Structure 1
Amino acid sequence: MRGLYVLIVIALITLYPVYVSDGQRWTYIDSFGIKLPLRYNIHGIDVSHHNEQIDWHKVKHSIEDKVEISFCFIKATEGEDLKDADFEKNWKESRKTGLIRGAYHFYVPRANPVEQAQNFIESVVLEEGDFVPVLDFEIQGTNKRVRANLLENIKTFINIIENHYGVKPIIYTNGHIYKQYIKGNLDKYPLWISNYDSQKLEGYDDARLMIWQHSTDGKVDGIRGNVDFNVFVASKSHLDDICIK
């Protein structure tokens, strides 16, 4: 009996990770070259000029086992004056395919938040059905003075964007930045979390958690090289909550 007990314990320890991950239904999708959490039905990508020329028609029609690309986020701006070289083309062409599109700004901690917000506003006109604006907040800088003022500057950026577009922007971030700056300070904003190491997301406000960037190694017809993959993790009824009406 002792031997049987030991075998049962070993089996439980071995199978526990499988049991935990199986709740997400991680399944390898050959045409995308990665596993996707098929517990969720709405999958998407995010791109910038680094992805070079994109054939959006092929992207839209990349389907396998009823899994398809439904949305995309496109880099628009960075810092005070950088505008993504391919944004305008990607923005227009993705719209033609019927994909839900979104635009994001890469926040530079040392740069002026007012000028950063203006850079985005000058570059992005949102239409009905588009995602609300996205703040890409994933670095905090190395300067102590910059870090000391970072949260207030982020709030300044968000307030300008919110006042201009009339909607609460999505905050894209990682676990470290979330714990240090977002949690307890910016809890009312929708969340887009990047996490490539976990089988499921834990420790976030489920009421605000909308999108999970789970891989940077995906493949999609119409795009050269690797592509970031995301999945909408909230209930489908919340999709409209983060789109322009």
Structure 2
Amino acid sequence: MLKGVDISKHNGNIDFENLKNNVDFIIIRCAYRGINNRKIFTDEKFKNNIKEANRLNIPVGLYIYSTAKTTDEAIEEAEFCITLAKAYKINYPISIDVEDNKNQGNLSKNQLSNIIKFFCDTIEKNNYYAMYYCNKDWYLNKLNHDILKPYDKWIAQWNKEKCDIVCGIWQYSDKGKVDGINGPVDLNYSFKDYCKIINPIIPNVERSITIGTEVSFNKCYISSDSDNPLKPLYGHGKITKILNNKKNPYLINENDCWIRKDDIL
């Protein structure tokens, strides 16, 4: 049984040098879909968190906080995760986190299960290992287990000595303490050594950037010559124009904004 944490921007600045001695794996939130506006955003700490984990050779997986209400949105979320994953070494699963009661709580068992299925199928078609996350109550009452048999489960059940559900990963606390992280953090046990199961894809760090390339980014600019970075509204889009002699050579979605190579996640 391996011990790990799952982290996001809510955990602030993490001392990974200290953390690496206290965990066997990390699951990093790479993205989340807005509860109200339906847009997908890159987690603001994702780039730093994944770079540090890879630098220190800490086994790492990813998850997205989903508010998908349709299978099309599930595919969109999976593709967003894949875009982010390509530049990094991923040796734990990529998971969809289903727990958003406002958007998903009233879906039928088949609807929610198919959202998970379409996400996981898209992940696995791109040669990553898929998983889904939910709490014990949602697992027992909101899912069709026949639809989800092919996929590993990551189950949240806190304040118990053991998980009541057979799963790949058990999140056993949301109030853990680990050196390297200030404040409470989610604690997990992995019942599988995913590093022995998953053959990580070689990171495509130097991928070519051309017109039509889909990218995620953490800063943008109002023009191709601006020196004043702005926080992007969405943080994801398609490169539609390239001006190689400019400070910010890449135009996003015809006229959304301009970005630099260093802004790309």
TM-score by length of 1: 0.69
1:241 deviates by: 2.3
Q: Which residue of 2 aligns with 1:21?
A: none
Maintained 8 Å contact 1:174/1:195: yes
> Is the CA contact 1:43–1:230 (under 8 Å) kept in the aligned structure 2?
yes
Answering whether residue 180 of structure 2 is matched by residue 222 of structure 1, we say yes
Contact 1:76 1:104 in 2 (8 A): yes
Quote the residue 1:100 is aligned against: 59
Higher normalized helix content (fraction of residues): 1
Question: Is residue 113 from structure 1 mapped to residue 74 from structure 2 by the alignment?
Answer: yes
Deviates most, 46-55 or 212-221: 212-221
- Corresponding residue for 2:99? 138
**Of the candidates 89, 107, 113, which is equivalent to residue 151 of structure 1?**
113
Report the 3-state secondary structure (helix = DSSP H, G, I; strand = E; otherwise coil) of the residue aligned with 2:143. helix
Gaps of 5+ in 1: 1-39, 62-67
The yes-or-no answer on 1:69 pairing with 2:12 is no
Q: Deviations over 1:103-145 (max 9, x none)?
A: 1111113362232222212222265562131121223545787
**Counterparts of 2:149 and 2:28, CA distance in 1:** 24
Residue aligning to 2:210: none
Structure 2 CA distance for partners of 1:130 and 1:181, relative to 1, 3 Å: same
Bigger shift: residues 135-144 or 50-59:
135-144
Report deviation, 1:163: 1.0
The aligned length equals 192
Identity of aligned residues (%): 27
Aligned equivalents of 2:84 and 2:49: distance in 1?
13
Contact (CA 8 Å) 2:133, 2:154: kept in 1 or not?
yes
Partner of 2:231: none
Measured on the aligned residues, the alpha-carbon RMSD in Å equals 2.5
Residue 196 (structure 2) aligns with: 240
Q: Report if aligned partners of 1:136, 1:173 keep a CA contact under 8 Å in 2.
A: yes
The answer to whether the 8 Å contact 1:218/1:226 transfers is yes
Q: Which residues of 2 match residues 19-58 of structure 1 at below 5 A? A: 40=1, 42-58=2-18
Q: Decide whether the 8 Å contact of 2:3 with 2:24 is kept in 1.
A: yes
What secondary structure sits across from 2:47 in the alignment? helix
The structural deviation recorded for 1:78 is 1.2
Structure 2 segments unaligned to the other structure (5+ residues): 34-38, 202-265
Q: What is the TM-score when the length of structure 2 is the normalising length?
A: 0.64
- The question of whether the paired residues in 2 share the 8 Å contact of 1:213 and 1:231 is answered with yes
User: Residue 64 of structure 1 corresponds to which residue in structure 2?
Assistant: none
User: Bigger shift: 173-182 or 126-135?
Assistant: 126-135
CA gap 1:215/1:242 in 2 versus in 1, 3 angstroms = farther
| Equivalent of 1:160 in 96, 112, 122 | 122
Name the CA distance, whole Å, in 1 between partners of 2:45 and 2:77.
19
Alignment partner of 1:89 is 2:48: yes
Rate the CA distance shift 1:143–1:127 in 2: closer, same or farther, 3 A: closer
The amino acid that maps onto 2:7 is V
CA shift, 1:226, in A, is 0.7
Larger relative contact order (C-alpha < 8 A, sep ≥ 6)? Answer: 1
Distance 1:81 1:73 in 2: 19
8 Å contact 1:170–1:242 — kept in the other structure? no
3-state SS in 1 of match to 2:160: coil
Distance 1:194 1:88 in 2: 25
